[in-house]
């Protein structure tokens, strides 16, 4: 049994109705809401056929039915070419919002994930570049109190990392700028992952110099190295973690808690995004997801690049009945906007 034109039309009508209302759909609803030119009895027969084919299920004894993962996959695959060939008319506005106060790449990530959550009303994420692969450009120390100093690391492509250092003994204020200059000079060009291997030789070199602020610098260096070693291989930006609570599918408190616990775990999210493939846009629906906590969800991800290389992913997690047309277009548009912003503002190879 194949999906003829009428079955496809009825299936899409059921999916659209369920996306809007999250309620099982009956033949009368379809007949009244959509002018299909056929009787409710004919629609019932077609719905029975679609159920036999695995596109619909009947959750209760009522006549209403809901779409299955197979139905959503058919729907998305049919929608794919249309959405991928279109552009968001608000792309310029999106770029302006993302670029606002985005002198640093960190701001681009934060703005993008916030906008993605606001536009889709779902939970959004960005997996940021691996920091340990980044090269140091400059180091700045900012005194907060006598024994607390804010370390600002400026990495390649204007990625900025801030760390609070708690010292055992205060460092004179007149030496702070000298230490910043010395650290910047000595560590410029090194990758963060190189710190452990060069630490001993660097301390030894500074010890032999013993000029001006070197004593304070020798005190500072171990603190710096210790903090750098704690940097994670990735960073996750998220927004709208509790949006799922507004959906009827998650009225079950236990189910909602399991979802929130999963998405709050950075390691789980990073692994999840690894399974989504390397295409510019990927969609996994329901049981296509690797993790049990997301078997009632759909995950839509897109890549973003720097110097032509994939450096991270942006994505949305929502219910399987999500508005795929809107979400796919939004994820694609924000990903495109990020790529343009990153290329224009942070792609150092293209600036040379």
Domain boundaries along the sequence of the chain? 5-67, 84-129+234-351, 132-229
Q: Say if residues 24 and 321 touch (Cβ distance below 8 Å).
A: no
| Residue 63 to residue 343: CA distance in whole angstroms | 54
Q: What's the confidence (pLDDT) of residue 210?
A: 47
Q: What's the confidence (pLDDT) of residue 162?
A: 77
Q: What's the confidence (pLDDT) of residue 346?
A: 65
Q: What's the confidence (pLDDT) of residue 195?
A: 73
- Give residues with Cβ within 8 angstroms of 341, minimum separation 6: 95, 98, 99, 102, 108
Q: What's the confidence (pLDDT) of residue 213?
A: 46
Instruction: Quote the pTM value.
Output: 0.72
Q: How many CA atoms lie within 13 A of 29 on its CB side?
A: 19
Q: What's the confidence (pLDDT) of residue 157?
A: 63
Q: What's the confidence (pLDDT) of residue 231?
A: 65
CA 176 to chain centre: 37
Q: Which two tokens stand for residue 76?
A: 């998305």
Domain 132-229 has CATH 3.30.390.60: yes
| Of 81, 77, 39, residue with least CA distance to 55 | 77
Domain 5-67 has CATH 1.10.10.10: yes
Give 10-residue mean pLDDT values along the chain (352 residues). Answer: 85 93 89 84 92 91 85 92 71 76 76 91 84 78 85 75 77 80 83 74 61 57 68 78 87 86 82 68 90 89 78 89 92 88 66 50
Pairing mode of beta strands 309-319, 297-306: antiparallel
Report which secondary-structure segment, H or E, holds 324.
helix 324-345
Q: How many CA atoms lie within 13 A of 99 on its CB side?
A: 15
- Give residues with Cβ within 8 angstroms of 174, minimum separation 6: none
Q: What's the confidence (pLDDT) of residue 61?
A: 62
| Residue 67 to residue 56: CA distance in whole angstroms | 5
Beta strands (DSSP E) in 47-122 are 56-57, 66-67
Q: What's the confidence (pLDDT) of residue 318?
A: 92
Radius of gyration for the alpha carbons in the chain, expressed in angstroms and rounded: 26
| Backbone phi and psi for residue 59, each to the nearest 5 degrees, phi listed first | -70, -25
Q: Which two tokens stand for residue 28?
A: 């009368």
Pairing mode of beta strands 136-145, 56-57: unpaired
CATH number of the structural domain 84-129+234-351: 3.30.450.40
């Amino acid at each position: 049994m194949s999906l003829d034109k009428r079955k496809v039309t009825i299936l899409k009508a059921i999916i659209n109705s369920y996306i809007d209302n999250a309620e099982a759909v009956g033949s009368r609803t379809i007949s009244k809401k959509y002018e299909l030119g056929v009787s409710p009895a004919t629609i019932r027969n077609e719905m029975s056929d679609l159920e036999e084919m695995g596109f619909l299920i009947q959750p209760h004894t009522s006549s209403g039915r809901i779409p299955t993962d197979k139905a959503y996959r058919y729907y998305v695959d049919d929608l794919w070419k249309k959405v991928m060939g279109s552009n968001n008319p608000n792309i310029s506005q999106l770029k302006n919002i993302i670029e606002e106060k985005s002198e640093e790449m960190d701001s681009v990530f934060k703005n993008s994930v916030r906008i993605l959550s606001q536009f889709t009303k779902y939970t959004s994420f960005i997996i940021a570049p691996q920091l340990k692969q980044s090269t140091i450009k400059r180091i700045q120390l900012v005194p907060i109190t006598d024994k607390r100093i804010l370390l600002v690391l400026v990495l390649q492509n204007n990625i900025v990392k801030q760390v609070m250092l708690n010292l055992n003994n205060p460092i004179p204020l007149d030496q702070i700028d000298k230490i910043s200059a010395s650290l910047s000079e000595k560590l410029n060009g090194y990758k963060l992952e190189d710190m452990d291997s060069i630490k001993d030789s660097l301390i030894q070199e500074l010890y032999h110099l013993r000029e001006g602020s070197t004593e304070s610098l020798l005190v500072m260096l171990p603190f710096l190295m210790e903090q750098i070693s704690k940097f994670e291989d990735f960073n996750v930006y998220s927004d709208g973690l509790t949006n799922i609570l507004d959906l009827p599918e998650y009225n079950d408190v236990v189910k909602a808690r399991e979802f929130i616990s999963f998405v709050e775990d950075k390691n789980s999210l990073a692994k999840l995004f690894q399974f989504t493939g390397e295409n510019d846009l990927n969609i996994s629906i329901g049981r296509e997801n690797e993790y049990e906590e997301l078997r009632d969800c759909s995950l839509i991800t897109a890549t973003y690049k720097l110097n032509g290389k994939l450096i991270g992913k942006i994505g949305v997690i929502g219910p399987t009945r999500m508005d795929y047309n809107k979400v796919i277009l939004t994820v694609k548009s924000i990903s495109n906007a990020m790529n343009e912003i990153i290329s224009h503002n942070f792609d150092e190879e293209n600036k040379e």
